[in-house]
């Protein structure tokens, strides 16, 4: 039986709320993108003081995490360490910067979240991961 479990609008709003709470702990405002399991944008929020480029960066981080089923921060580290993976940077939709994480529920990939504007890729990654975990999701299969 095909799993059709996917993040819905209500779930996306809750994730965004958690992401903003985590960012506030770092005294940061962030842009947030949340995709469903097909890679469709369900929610896209620009942070109040965040540069406009971060909105698209958030979406691409979320897409990268969903498409590769890997947090974009880990993908970035792998690409930096492995010359054969560096070509991932040339794919127009992928963005190898920290802040995108896949979202798993009961072993099913249900969507992803992308964060930008948190001050560093590591901050963005931690905000995204904590937002998902706070709601009982996993960021690894």
Instruction: Give the chain's domains with CATH numbers.
Output: 9-135 (3.30.450.150)
* Confidence category of residue 1, pLDDT binned at 50, 70, 90: very low
Alpha-carbon span 58 to 113, nearest angstrom: 8
- Global pTM reads 0.93
pLDDT (mean) for 102-128: 96
Would you report the helix, strand and coil content of the chain in percent, each value rounded to 5?
A: 45, 20, 35
DSSP-derived secondary structure letter, 138: B
Mean pLDDT taken over the chain: 93
Read off the pLDDT of residues 7-50 as tens digits, 9 standing for 90 and up. 999 999 999 999 999 999 999 999 999 999 999 999 999 999 99
DSSP, residue by residue, 12-58: HHHHHHHHHHHHHHTT---EEEEEETTS-EEEEE--TTS-THHHHHH
């Amino acid at each position: 039986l095909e799993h059709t479990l996917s993040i819905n609008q209500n779930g996306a709003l809750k994730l965004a709320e958690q992401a903003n709470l985590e960012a506030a702990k770092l005294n940061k405002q962030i842009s947030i993108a949340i995709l469903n399991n097909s890679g469709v944008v369900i929610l896209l929020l620009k942070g109040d003081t965040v540069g406009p480029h971060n909105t698209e960066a958030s979406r691409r981080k979320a897409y990268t995490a969903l498409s590769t089923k890997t947090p974009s921060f880990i993908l970035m580290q792998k690409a930096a360490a492995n010359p054969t993976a560096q070509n991932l940077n040339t794919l127009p939709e992928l963005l190898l910067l920290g802040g995108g994480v896949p979202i798993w529920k009961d072993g099913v990939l249900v969507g992803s979240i992308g964060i930008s504007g948190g001050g560093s890729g590591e901050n963005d990654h931690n905000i995204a991961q904590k937002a998902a975990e706070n709601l009982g999701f996993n960021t690894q299969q």
